[in-house]
Chain A
């Protein structure tokens, strides 16, 4: 009968495992936990979750206990009692129809209340942010602040951030688990979600994800959210609204704007994606990169056809991310790699090896383009030219 004992023990072990794991769910070990009450939205949601978990646990224990007691007590034994022929019991059946119904009412009432509370229009004075999904990166616009940026999002703590979501191509979904629930980005439609990071939060960085399957690099469509102090946000916004100044004039005395310090990035926010094997670049060239030459190479590589750099009259493309202040970002490729010279160089050389399916063509001279299935020839850049472009982009703080 050892089999039977194991069968009895299994649900108990599951419950134990469940409780142990749950107790650990709030800590830094789980940076994307949905149980952290950072915002009003997450607090409302998590209160509902607690209610659901409470009733769910009770139902689980009652059903599994009834099941286990029944199969142990009424197992066939030599000399045991014969089966009693019961065909039904109206009172019992009414009871186990009615009791779940009552539990569901207890869940439904706060559910509906929370639906209307969280889907109400955003409170006045919130920061409006347009989120536009692209395969496979995020465009963020602050229409009231005149900012267009990509993949990295800044919001001040203590003030509601109100998002207006849409997509340029296929469906995507916007989700920052530590801030609240998700909302789909739908082509030809606008969606809304808002939340208010608690004013007591220190400046911190969070991960976000695309959660609607959107093709090859769905897994590589990530968000970095910086919820920072209001003065830091002001500084960031003021700087980001300005065009890139290149080359930096000696007379330009405007202080550099705030950006989230890279040395304070939590481990889980710093990308750890390995560089694909077979993509080689001589990092020694990067030291000789020249930003002025890079500005020219930026044109030679036809980067301007897809990317905007405000302040560079040629670069007005809107297919790819806005690069105006690319040098101030901590990641590239929608959070796939850190924004440093070696990664940027390889990205420019052959983005399609770095990130499956990406629209940006292979630019490195003589590199094989895995989507067009041929060696890149037109508008290509040598490794030295790439080093120059990297220097140019890094200068766009």
Chain B
């Protein structure tokens, strides 16, 4: 449980007399602390997923290697995908949603602080549930996509898939709860004057992502529920002997799975849209178009799922339609790339570590985007799909895009979170090793794939023309491993030994930089009244925002919120001294998560000949869950 214990030492910077003991973390409902918990937990899972990648690449270093067995390899690649998608990148984004959204819109917390804590605990428990089995070699082994009928009991009689289906179902609850929370927060809790079209781009992209979550998770929840019923209660949704159509799963999965790609990438787009203007000393180029293109990407993302299925034989008409829909997405994505470059054009670019990661997102995501267009053409895709060309493509999107963006975000916001800057020198080592290791790992995969190497193979024969590419990829992965050590070192050391940051170390323009670092528990001593997109630049460098529209909120809203014009807050008083009511700390969200978790895990006993234990655990868990919810609902928030 290192992921729980670790943050206690991260709080040394909380200097305002707030409680920092372990219990305070367990009962916290503070969005910043929950964001910190997300960050530590997700980084832990990122390291686990990365280590799985190291084992995978070691096995594939040379043909016919016997470093791990076929079954272990299949568990490793399944868990690498599952971990990186659900336990690392999504929650890393969630860390930023939690920490940043209330700060960026000038709010004191999210709309439902206790639900927010619940989301985190459900994520932690679900993550542990799905990760632990690999230590006992019973990890899920049907791929992160879990195509039926390979996941049915006929072909997967063991417990491996049980952990996967229950784990993902649990994680989905976390994502849905969080999404409703942030939608409510963004719609209702913006400071006076913070109109939708003044929201920082990160908040905007997060806003779009929350809708994607709310709309994309129901299909996979249904798909998983069918599978759960099949595996535990003998229904036949995916049972081929009963005539099931295996494509049912694929359609449901990809209706979720493709929007999921944008769930993974849009927060990173948002983060670099904060980093690039800051270090170019210019506002974001074409703000409106950036907002609309983000919405457009999210919208079109629901109409392209079947491009993952060009090989299943949907027919020429469906292939053509999904092909053209997919090509359309390239347009708003391209607009974003060009607008980012235009943001830097005529600026004063400072090559800090976050800026380097942000620039490399543009450079690397472009490659992933181009290869994406290459497989939007179905006949060409039929030579590419399920080969290493695809592996190369989505790593350029998810590593070159999401991870680069998230690292940019971590370096950029670390001082806000901890009050201290990360070390630039170690950061540069981290960046350059990552950049080189990343390209060495994934660029050769384009060639391996187009030269005939299938993906998801635990081994390959000699003499196929793939040896050199695989060796390069493995060496690249080892470089990434070293790069990550630099990151961990920097991250751990800078918490206590980094240079003190102050409110605004980068000269940024948005609200979160107007308050102390780390922010006090109440965020804003006085709710700010916002009059433009870069309120802090209005204050410090009005020339920067002279060209954009300014206006004031109506007097009524300002008075209602006791808002004052944006200013730099420097004093750090306690909430009590300021008379700001804060939500009570409570362990009920954790207890609710635990009891719900119990309810689900009871199912594990059902397929192992212990129906009585199943009944006791599941019904007991359900009863305790309902009781906890009742206690939760009847206890006051503040």
Contacts and interface: CB of A to CB of B under 8 A. Distances in A.
Given A87-B287, A187-B240, A274-B64, A118 B465 contact: no
A365 interface: no
Given A64-B366, A89-B342, A115-B320, A219 B457 contact: yes
A88 B463 contact: no
Contacts of A35: 450
Contact of B374 (A56, A75, A93): A56
B146 to A, nearest CB: 10
Contacts of A342: none
Nearest to B339: A93
Contacts of B450: 25, 33-35
A90 to B, nearest CB: 8
A86 interface: yes
A268 B452 CA distance: 12
Contacts of A89: 285-286, 342
A45 B246 contact: no
A83 B349 CA distance: 9
Nearest to A214: B150
Interface string B70-112: 1100100000000000000000000000000000000000000
Contacts of B455: 211
B149 interface: yes
Interface string B321-349: 00110011011001101110110111111
B11 to A, nearest CB: 34
Contact of B465 (A71, A100, A268): A268
A92 B243 contact: no
Contacts of A44: 379
A181 B380 CA distance: 8
A107 B288 CA distance: 29
B379 A17 contact: no
A192 B311 CA distance: 10
Nearest to A92: B342
B82 to A, nearest CB: 14
A338 B451 CA distance: 23
Given A115-B319, A357-B71, A192 B313 contact: yes
A354 B371 CA distance: 38
Contacts of A135: 155
B377 interface: yes
Contacts of B320: 111-112, 115-116
B464 A67 contact: no
A201 interface: no
A63 interface: yes
A96 B366 contact: no
Contacts of B63: 272
Contacts of A180: 382-383
B252 to A, nearest CB: 15
B285 A86 contact: yes
Interface stretch (B43-51, B200-208, B478-486, B543-551): B543-551
Contacts of A81: 348
Given A86-B285, A118-B379, A169-B155, A107 B387 contact: no
B439 A70 contact: no
Contacts of A215: 74, 142, 150, 155
A356 interface: yes
A393 to B, nearest CB: 23
Given A83-B347, A181-B383, A169 B240 contact: yes
A108 interface: yes
B378 A211 contact: no
A175 interface: yes
A34 B450 CA distance: 6
A115 B323 contact: yes
B461 A212 contact: no
Nearest to B472: A17
B452 A48 contact: no
A199 interface: no
A188 interface: yes
Contacts of B623: none
B569 to A, nearest CB: 26
Given A169-B240, A184-B312, A268-B463, A213 B350 contact: no
Identify the interface centre among B289, B335, B371, B383: most chain A CB within 10 Å of its CB. B383
A217 B465 contact: no
Nearest to A101: B331
A108 B348 CA distance: 40
B84 to A, nearest CB: 17
A366 to B, nearest CB: 23
B341 A218 contact: no
Nearest to A209: B454
Contact of B348 (A74, A189, A214, A356): A74
Given A74-B347, A212-B386, A177 B452 contact: yes
Identify the interface centre among B70, B362, B382: most chain A CB within 10 Å of its CB. B382
Interface string A181-214: 1111011110110000000000000010111111
A216 B157 CA distance: 13
Nearest to B545: A85
A49 B380 contact: yes
A32 B450 CA distance: 8
Contacts of A45: 379-380, 382-383
Interface residues of B, number: 106
Contacts of B465: 29-33, 268
A10 interface: yes
B348 A67 contact: no
Contact of B312 (A80, A87, A186, A268): A186
A97 interface: yes
A74 B381 CA distance: 39
B246 A186 contact: yes
Interface in B265-303: 280-283, 285-289
B327 A88 contact: no
B244 interface: yes
B237 interface: no
B451 A219 contact: no
B38 interface: no
A356 B66 CA distance: 12
B313 A191 contact: yes
B489 interface: no
A30 B349 contact: no
A397 to B, nearest CB: 26
B460 interface: yes
B316 A87 contact: no
Interface in B595-636: none
A271 interface: yes
Contact of B362 (A67, A214, A220): A67
B19 interface: no
A114 B348 contact: no
B428 interface: yes
A96 B69 CA distance: 50
A93 B286 contact: yes
A71 B70 contact: no
B247 A189 contact: yes
A44 to B, nearest CB: 6
B166 interface: no
Contact of A52 (B155, B346, B374, B453): B374
Interface in B134-155: 142-143, 147, 149-150, 155
A96 B335 contact: yes
Nearest to B316: A119
B363 interface: yes
B462 A272 contact: yes
20 contacts: A63-B337, A74-B280, A74-B345, A74-B348, A80-B348, A83-B346, A86-B345, A92-B338, A92-B342, A93-B338, A116-B316, A170-B155, A177-B452, A180-B383, A182-B385, A183-B311, A183-B382, A211-B385, A213-B456, A219-B460
Interface of B: 63-64, 66, 69-71, 74, 142-143, 147, 149-150, 155, 240, 243-247, 280-283, 285-289, 311-313, 315-316, 319-320, 323-324, 327-328, 330-331, 334-335, 337-339, 341-342, 344-351, 356, 359, 362-363, 366-367, 370-371, 373-374, 376-383, 385-387, 428, 432, 435-436, 439, 443, 447, 450-465, 543-548
